[in-house]
């Protein structure tokens, strides 16, 4: 069992970080929240009720979007096309309207193209708009993953190690973007190993170890928590 006895709630418009050693079950929590993996027991309650009653493809309609630890972007598609995937939930996927290009289809197409362009600009991806993902830098890839999630207009954004592979200046840039998104009212749950970023960004920190919750509190409380220091932070990182 990757995760057991993990209970936590995420206050609206806050940033909550999940930390813990490798194999602690952090990504599994995201997989359960987005129904990518099935839960054997328990409940996940959102605004729409118990999310465990919903299939994976309906989760995004309830305002939950996520990124992945391993890039899941479509390598041959452009940055813009990847971001556009985030808008699929707003699109009519009727084949007939695609074939006959009905006026409604065309209006929707124009509206959605404009919305994707807005998100691309908002995330600072305009210079790379038409570049295939395979040719872009790690920062652009991470930003594109987040932009894809943002394009789906979530209330709750789940980010799985968005700072992985970034240098310090890029981390600062990304933190600025996350602060802006949070300021716009978006709730963010972040899995991250970079403690400086976690402690600086988060309102609350959840610590997992071996699939169990060992602590939850403000960054200061977590820094001082002896069980967290023993299991994950160590004395140097805690100070």
Partner 1 sequence: MKARLGVALQLATAAALAVGLPALLVHGDYGRHLLILTLILGALAVSLNLVMGYAGLVSVAHGAFFGIGAYTTALMTVNGYPFIVSVIAGMLLAALTGTLLGVATLRLRGHYFAVATLAFTMVAVIILERWEEVTRGARGVANIPRPTPVSFGSVTLSFADFWPMYVLLMCVVCLFVLVVHLVVHSPFGKSLLCIQRNELLGKVYGVNVMWVKLRVLALSAAMASVSGSLYASYIAYVSPNDANFMRSFEAIMYVVVGGTGTNWGPLLGTVFVHILPELLRGFDNFRLLILGGILVAVVRFYPAGLAGGIAEIVKFATRLRRLSSRFQRTKPVTD
Q: Which residues bind partner 1 (CB under 8 A)?
A: 34, 36, 55-61, 65-66, 68, 72-77, 81, 84-86, 88-89, 91-95, 97-99, 101, 105-106, 109-110, 148, 152
CB of 20 or CB of 154, closer to partner 1: 154
Task: Work out how close the CB of 137 gets to partner 1 at its nearest, in angstroms, rounded to a whole number.
Answer: 20
CB of 102 or CB of 122, closer to partner 1: 102
Note whether 65 and 154 are within 8 A (CB).
yes
* Separation of alpha carbons 15 and 11, rounded Å: 8
Q: What is the Cα Rg of the chain in Å?
A: 19
CB of 158 or CB of 222, closer to partner 1: 158
DSSP 77: S
Note whether 29 and 208 are within 8 A (CB).
yes
CB of 73 or CB of 119, closer to partner 1: 73
* Separation of alpha carbons 134 and 16, rounded Å: 31
CB of 36 or CB of 171, closer to partner 1: 36
Note whether 208 and 7 are within 8 A (CB).
no
Task: Work out how close the CB of 112 gets to partner 1 at its nearest, in angstroms, rounded to a whole number.
Answer: 8
Task: Work out how close the CB of 81 gets to partner 1 at its nearest, in angstroms, rounded to a whole number.
Answer: 8
CB atoms under 10 Å from CB of 224, counted, come to 11
| Beta-sheet pairing, 187-191 with 15-19 | parallel
* Separation of alpha carbons 207 and 227, rounded Å: 10
**Among residues 148, 139, 203, which one has the least CA distance to residue 172?**
139
DSSP 233: I
Task: Work out how close the CB of 207 gets to partner 1 at its nearest, in angstroms, rounded to a whole number.
Answer: 26
Task: Work out how close the CB of 171 gets to partner 1 at its nearest, in angstroms, rounded to a whole number.
Answer: 25
CB of 5 or CB of 130, closer to partner 1: 130
Task: Work out how close the CB of 221 gets to partner 1 at its nearest, in angstroms, rounded to a whole number.
Answer: 32
* Separation of alpha carbons 70 and 179, rounded Å: 23
């Amino acid at each position: 069992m990757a995760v057991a006895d993990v209970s936590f709630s995420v206050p609206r418009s806050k940033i909550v970080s999940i930390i813990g050693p490798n194999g602690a079950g952090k990504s599994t929590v995201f997989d359960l929240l987005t129904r990518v993996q099935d839960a054997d027991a328990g409940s996940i309650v959102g605004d729409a009720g118990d999310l465990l009653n919903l299939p994976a493809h309906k989760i995004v309609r309830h305002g939950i979007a996520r990124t992945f630890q391993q890039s899941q972007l479509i390598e041959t598609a452009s940055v813009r096309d990847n971001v556009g995937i985030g808008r699929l939930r707003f699109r009519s996927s009727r084949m007939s309207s695609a074939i006959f290009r009905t006026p409604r289809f065309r209006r929707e197409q124009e509206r959605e193209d404009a919305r994707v362009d807005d998100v691309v600009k908002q995330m600072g991806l305009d210079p790379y708009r038409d570049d295939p993902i395979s040719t872009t830098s790690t920062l652009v890839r991470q930003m594109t993953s987040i932009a894809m999630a943002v394009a789906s207009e979530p209330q709750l954004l789940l980010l799985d190690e968005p700072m992985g592979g970034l240098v310090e200046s890029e981390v600062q840039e990304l933190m600025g973007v996350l602060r802006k998104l949070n300021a716009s009212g978006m709730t963010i749950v972040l899995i991250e190993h970079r403690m400086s970023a976690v402690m600086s960004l988060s309102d609350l920190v959840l610590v997992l170890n071996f699939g169990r919750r060992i602590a939850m509190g403000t960054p200061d409380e977590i820094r001082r928590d002896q069980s967290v220091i023993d299991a994950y932070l160590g004395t140097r990182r805690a100070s």
